[in-house]
Amino acid sequence: MTTDKKPAVPGNRVVNKRKLEERRRFLRSIILGAAVLGISTLGYIPVASAWRVRMRPPGALEESDFLSSCIKCGQCVQVCPVQAIKLDDIDHGFGVGLPYIDSRSQACDFSCDAVQCILACPTGSLVYKKPVFMPTRNGMRVANPPILLAKEKDPEPTLNIRERTGLARLARPDACLAVQGKGFKGQARGADFKGRMRFIEVDRWKPIPLRDHPFDLQLCDLCVRTCPIKGAISLQPVVDKDGNTRMTPTVHEPCLGCGVCEMICPVESAAIVVDARKGWGA
Amino acid sequence: MANKYWESVRVMLGGAPRKSQPGEYTEEAKTIHFYKKSEKLDFDALRIEAHEHQKKGVWLRRRWITLLVINLLFTVSFWLDIQILEGALTASRFLGFHLIDLNSALQVMLAHKHIIVNLFIGTGTVFVLWLLVGGRTFCSWACPYHFLAENAERLHVYLVQKKKISDHTFHRGVRTVFWVLFALMAIITGYTVFETISPVGILSRALIYGPGLALGWVVLLLLFEVFYSRRAWCRYVCPIGLTYGMVGVFSPLHVTYKLANCHHEGECKKVCEVPHVLDCVIKGRAPTAQLDIGADCTRCGMCIDVCPSGALTFEIKGLRRIM
Ligand code: SF4
Ligand code: SF4
Ligand code: SF4
Ligand code: SF4
């Protein structure tokens, strides 16, 4: 086109060819820019629509702060003695590489006492105590310092952490063995389950595979007896509509949402679950 | 002097390399250029003679070993729980010392707008480290994506030679635009947007914590580079390279060009990821008898490996005088 318009200038063809290529390159560059920007903002979709509400490791900042501050290094993953922490994939958009805990497959049972993941974090995405200007939603802070049963006899029995990662809830009371008045015998999650936990009566420090620690219970109270936090859950009698008294697991305010109850619950799928990022009374 | 640094930054940001003005040539350089013009070189003889002295692929070997060792050290530290290098390339601890990738740290600081001490220490350590070894050294000696892209680049060059495909270039300035855009997006959205698509972070995590869907994105990038545009990510997009490049402007380690040795065969430009920094090797261009290659150079040593006449070498400033 341009060559048609200015046919008179001699030697113009070469210049035009170069100009043309330059123009093409410029256009290509703009397309490249738009494409990369478009692809990188795709990360919004999973975040904005909160596809899956992930449970973050203990001490995590509120979700939006967590998303912006975590450098995605996985140092928290590396120090966890039970390897409860995993990193998210690209289907989580901006959350790719962010640590989360899937309690059902491996809960944080505070095997490390000092909450190692918080110590390992280089960016302050996981903290014992949030800076004052960072908001905490109502119900996330626990009323009293949580007492870790594993170190109840230590001079300093409490945990350094004061905020919950979520809250346990009896999601399917009908499926709960305790509610049904049933006992439990055997390996809590079967012989193939890979999850680990520490049991104070076995070893104060070393987590062992759940399957190596079978139970024999008259009335199932696995969630209550394995909960690492004092006073977080108990079996309470309730009278049902037929006038029978039944025992039912009841979650109390000190629950940190660690997820041990969800991991150990022998019914499939778990009768008790932890709602990630949920506060008390919410 | 300041002029020289400014020029190398300008070229790194996307400016076209400038031809030296007649007044800028030193007497020494003029003399060399003069003799080169009059001399009739028997290139083939020179090449044969020079190739005998050439140690093939020395730097390539050294570099690949370093790159693999760094990346695998992360992996084994985790898998064998030996705690030498914990974390990933974005942030880690080497024997307890915090190390944090400058660009990741920058993204986090801009998105989060809050800096804690550990983040600051780690950034400082890496800043000093890369200042010493030279900015884009990170790219060719540590970046796991570089390793893949480098091999994809070979394939691309081969396919172009076979005339199966043609290469499409972009304006180099887009990398600078991207750098600014990614920074702006981090500030405005509060998310580390770049990290989502960074193949460097994705690969590093995949090596350490196991593969995931995100590798699909890396594969797409590589395919784009093999079939459409040579080395596109590193050349036109990656802000990490630019961040390190800026840090390295004043670094003492350089590839140095010696005009007198050069036969202007242009072998170096063919292998270089950033050939615009090697414009001085074109016949008649170099204004001084010896000059440092610009800040965008990744210090990969590939040009040193292929140069048959030893015109390019690694040099550490100051050391030359000491030794
Ligand atoms: S607090 Fe829980 S998740 Fe964190 S390191 Fe300890 S056991 Fe693992
Ligand atoms: S250690 Fe901190 S910055 Fe690193 S992945 Fe875990 S939460 Fe994120
Ligand atoms: S430009 Fe980016 S992707 Fe390429 S080698 Fe450098 S850091 Fe790696
Ligand atoms: S100038 Fe040489 S050392 Fe620098 S990037 Fe190019 S080939 Fe590598």
Q: In this structure, how many other beta carbons lie within 10 angstroms of the beta carbon of residue A97?
A: 28
H-run or E-run covering B205 = helix B199-209
Range of lowest pLDDT (A49-53, B155-159, B205-209): A49-53
Total domain count, chain A:
1
* Mean per-residue pLDDT, B267-279: 92
pLDDT band at B323 (very low <50, low <70, confident <90, very high): very low
Question: Is A42's pLDDT higher than 60?
Answer: yes
SS3 of chain A: helix, strand, coil, percent, to 5: 30, 15, 55
Domain annotation covers residue A47: no
pLDDT of residue A282: 65
Peptide bond into A269 cis (omega under 30): yes
pLDDT tens for A110-128 read 999 878 999 999 999 999 9
Verify whether ligand 2 is closer than 6 Å to residue A160 (CB atom): no
Question: Is A239's pLDDT higher than 60?
Answer: yes
Verify whether ligand 3 is closer than 6 Å to residue B145 (CB atom): yes
**Gyration radius from chain A CA atoms:** 27
Average pLDDT, chain A: 89
Percent of chain B with pLDDT over 70: 92
Q: What CA–CA distance (Å, rounded) separates B152 from B155?
A: 5
Question: Is A6's pLDDT higher than 50?
Answer: no
Question: Is B28's pLDDT higher than 90?
Answer: no
A71: domain range?
53-131+144-276
Strands of chain B (E only): list them.
85-88, 91-94, 97-100, 253-258, 290-292, 312-316
Average pLDDT, chain B: 89
pLDDT of residue A244: 85
Closest ligand to B88 CA? 2
pLDDT band at B175 (very low <50, low <70, confident <90, very high): very high
Q: Do A33 and B100 touch (CB under 8 A)?
A: no
Verify whether ligand 4 is closer than 6 Å to residue B303 (CB atom): yes
Are B137 and B247 spatial neighbours (Cβ–Cβ below 8 Å)? no
Q: What CA–CA distance (Å, rounded) separates A170 from B316?
A: 67
- Count Cα neighbours of B263 within 13 Å in the Cβ-side half-sphere: 19
Q: Model's pTM, two decimal places?
A: 0.89
Are B194 and B183 spatial neighbours (Cβ–Cβ below 8 Å)? no
pLDDT of residue B237: 95
Percent of chain A with pLDDT over 70: 94
pLDDT band at B44 (very low <50, low <70, confident <90, very high): low
pLDDT band at A3 (very low <50, low <70, confident <90, very high): very low
- Write out the two tokens for A233: 């859950």
More confidently predicted of B4 and A62: A62
- Indicate left, alpha or beta for A225 from its phi (over 0: left) and psi (-120 to 50: alpha): alpha
pLDDT tens for A184-203 read 999 999 999 999 999 988 98
Question: Is A11's pLDDT higher than 50?
Answer: yes
Mutation for testing the B interface, residue in A63, A72, A85 having most B CBs under 10 Å:
A72
Question: Is A14's pLDDT higher than 90?
Answer: no
A123 vs B: CB within 8 A: yes
Q: What CA–CA distance (Å, rounded) separates B194 from B105?
A: 12
Domain annotation covers residue A216: yes
pLDDT of residue A197: 95
A45 vs B: CB within 8 A: no
Q: What is the DSSP letter of A267?
A: S
Question: Is B2's pLDDT higher than 60?
Answer: no
Q: Do A28 and B112 touch (CB under 8 A)?
A: no
Q: Shortest CB distance from B108 goes to which of A25, A74, A123? A: A123
Are A163 and A276 spatial neighbours (Cβ–Cβ below 8 Å)? no
More confidently predicted of B165 and B18: B165
B45 vs A: CB within 8 A: no
Which ipTM did the prediction report? 0.88
Closest ligand to B231 CA? 3
Give me the residues paired with residue A237 across strands.
A247
pLDDT of residue B1: 45
Domain annotation covers residue A71: yes
Question: Is B24's pLDDT higher than 50?
Answer: yes
pLDDT of residue B115: 85
pLDDT of residue A2: 42
Q: In this structure, how many other beta carbons lie within 10 angstroms of the beta carbon of residue B255?
A: 24
Domain annotation covers residue A41: no
B98 vs A: CB within 8 A: yes
Tell me which chain B residue has its CA closest to the CA of residue A121.
Answer: B118
H-run or E-run covering B27 = helix B27-38
Separation of A278 CA from ligand 3 center, angstroms? 40
Are A176 and A272 spatial neighbours (Cβ–Cβ below 8 Å)? yes
pLDDT of residue B7: 87
Question: Is A243's pLDDT higher than 90?
Answer: no
- Ligand 1, atom 8, residue with closest C-alpha: A80
pLDDT of residue A77: 95
* Mean per-residue pLDDT, B56-69: 91
CA nearest to B199, candidates B151, B116, B152, B143: B143
Domain annotation covers residue A212: yes
Angle, helix B144-161 to helix B199-209, in steps of 10 degrees: 120
CB-based contacts of B151: which residues, under 8 Å, 6+ apart? none
* Mean per-residue pLDDT, B184-191: 94
pLDDT of residue A114: 78
Q: Do A74 and B208 touch (CB under 8 A)?
A: yes
pLDDT tens for B134-154 read 779 999 999 999 999 999 999
* Mean per-residue pLDDT, B236-257: 91
Query: Which own/partner contact pairs does B55-62 have at CB distance under 8 Å and 24+ positions apart?
Result: B55/B305, B56/B305, B57/B305, B58/B301, B58/B305, B59/B300, B59/B301, B59/B302, B59/B304, B59/B305, B60/B301, B60/B302, B60/B305, B62/B301
**CB pairs below 8 Å between A and B: how many?**
143
